[in-house]
Amino acid sequence: MKKQIRTGGIGFYVLILAIIFMAVYVSGAFRQGSDNSYNIYQFEKDLGNGTVQSVEVFPNEEVPTGEVKVVLNSKKTISFYVSDVNKIGDLIDGYKDIEKNYVVNDIQKPSWVITTLLPYGLAIIGIFFLFSFLSAQSAGASGGNAKMMNFGKSRAQRIDPGEHAKKFKDVAGLKEEKEELEEIVDFLANPAKYTGIGARIPKGILLVGPPGTGKTLLAKAVAGEAGVPFFSLSGSDFVEMFVGVGASRVRDMFAEAKKNAPCIVFIDEIDAVARKRGSGLGGGHDEREQTLNQMLVEMDGFGVNEGIIVMAATNRVDILDPAILRPGRFDRRVTVGRPDVRGREEILQVHAKGKPLGDDVDLKKIAQTTVGFTGADLENLMNEAAIACAKDGRKFIEQEDISKSFIKVGIGKEKKSKIISEKDKKITAYHEAGHAILFHVLPDVGPVHMVSVIPTGGGAAGYTMPLPDRDEMFITKGKMMQDVIVSLGGRIAESLIFDDVTTGASQDIKQATATAKDMVTKYGFSDDIGMINYADEDEVFIGRDFGHTSRGYSEDVAKTIDHEVKKIIDEAYTKAKQILEDHMDILHSCAALLMEKERIDRKEFEALFGEDTQEPAEGEALIEEKLSEEDVQE
């Protein structure tokens, strides 16, 4: 019925208008209009001239008014209104020829269509339209159009077997993760194989990992491989401003899943609804907590949910409630980390499909130079390269496209059109040269990939991009110390050359301070502080109460922490300054080259040091001279 009303709505209104116009027309409302320039005096004159052929009078209900219709000898018909139709008869009296063609009509009464049919008809049509509208609203409530009627209904999107295009072959770089999830698919396909020997099918699988590592993609692949109904929704779909709605949606979701068991229920970003209870404002009656309580009961309570496997994804597992993480609810936790070099190459091959690559593009080399990139980062890298290629009107993606995209994704698009003064450009050149020299000399932070004095979209006046050539599982104390040293290189270069400093190193100082503070408070790299964690809480609302914001150590410890952080910064400053003073000629050469070319690559930069300086033995000897032995250990 709802569909018929929508498709026939225009015709319905046209029909009403047609009825009204017909009624008005029948009633005589539409008549030939009167000639405003013609009046009774002109009529009297035409009578005298003998040009009047016939006269017809139409009296109104408001006697003696009426309308006079005059036909002249020229066959022209003219109508005009008079205040007294009796005057027309008086004027015609004596004109024998006109009296023969003089007609006085009866007084016109309103048409029965206007007086009877139209009012009742409009009333009936109005009642019909009202009932049709109410019926449409009632039908919409069951179809999803009336939101007030379905707040408590689940918003899970159902995907039937065969509808999903993603398979495990489309997921690259996650070999072990796929193996774990393949077991889940096997559970659903052959449950008797496991229950026959007393095994219990896992009730929940939690996918944990940084953003962009492929957690949701894995869930889509499970949906494609399982061959069972797949219900997907996000954690925020449970949360509403009305109390009890979230819990009602959880009940409805599991009720629907029971009807379609065996099946998979996937909740993306579950941390939106499964945070620790008792945190923040709202207490135990908080809507989010009621939703979580209902989810805990549905997953492993008195009810039986055989054949339902719940999958969830989050990058904040640290804030989830412990009750939902225990065995019997989320039995397995699959960690989806950043891919290694082999995984990155496989991911690049997947995203390179459908993109014509030039002969100079080496995916293996790109994988080696994209340390720390997630699957989403690599997809974005290849997509930006394809966009740059299409923008230039070329048919094949070249290595230069990928190199530009690497800079755009990692730092921001260069703003070559931005006008900067020669003084600012010179300061930026020495600043970036200071960073670059330290990246090159120190063994654990380089090598340098690109140095530029072109402003970027991120607000930086220039940049120095290192390019790690290996994956590292651990960060050593020496590596973190070298990171601090490199961060201070730009400010030190400015002070050595210009005998003054600028605000351009503010972000470097912030980064160096944060690294030094982590070394002291989080990783136990300070002898005076020892191996005690004094790091601040990341999030206030995870605490047991709202006012829990005080630090967990005394003023004496805080003073010692400040002293140790300053000690690390001062030590790094001294070593960075010594290295730059020893390479003052290269600092000038690098700055001059940057002033000339604005951007130099690794080959051009390393050429400034000469061939001998790149030998490993001499490089190690130089570091041993500049850094103490304990700094380059672990």
> Is there a contact between 487 and 480 (Cβ–Cβ < 8 Å)?
no
Q: Is 215 annotated in some ligand binding site?
A: yes
Instruction: Find the catalytic residue in 67, 177, 432, 494.
Output: 432
Q: What is the residue-wise DSSP string for 314-349? A: ES-GGGB-HHHHSTTTS-EEEE-----HHHHHHHHH
Q: Is 563 annotated in some ligand binding site?
A: no
d(CA 452, CA 447): 15
Q: Is 216 annotated in some ligand binding site?
A: yes
Tell which residue, 307, 302, 225, has the closest CA to residue 265.
307
Tell which residue, 610, 634, 367, 319, has the closest CA to residue 476.
634
Q: Is 202 annotated in some ligand binding site?
A: no
> Is there a contact between 407 and 369 (Cβ–Cβ < 8 Å)?
no
Q: How many CB atoms lie within 10 A of CB 399?
A: 16
Strands 52-59 and 102-104, how do they pair?
parallel
Strands 308-314 and 204-208, how do they pair?
parallel
Q: Is 508 annotated in some ligand binding site?
A: yes
Q: In what order do the strands lie in the sheet with 230-234?
A: 157-159, 230-234, 263-268, 308-314, 204-208, 332-335
User: How many angstroms separate the Cα of 540 from the Cα of each of 170, 287, 469, 522?
Assistant: 40, 20, 38, 18
Tell which residue, 578, 241, 579, 598, has the closest CA to residue 455.
598
Distance of CA 587 to the CA centre of its chain: 44
- DSSP at 236: G
Phi then psi dihedrals of residue 324, to 5 deg: -85, -10
> Is there a contact between 275 and 325 (Cβ–Cβ < 8 Å)?
no
Describe the crossing of helices 477-487 and 506-521 by its angle, rounded to 10 degrees.
160
Phi then psi dihedrals of residue 495, to 5 deg: -70, -35
Annotated catalytic residue 306: no
> Is there a contact between 324 and 289 (Cβ–Cβ < 8 Å)?
no
27's enclosing H/E stretch is none
67's enclosing H/E stretch is strand 66-72
Q: In what order do the strands lie in the sheet with 52-59?
A: 77-82, 66-72, 52-59, 102-104
- Binding site listing for ATP: 209-216
Provide the annotated active-site residues.
432
- Binding site listing for Zn(2+): 431, 435, 508
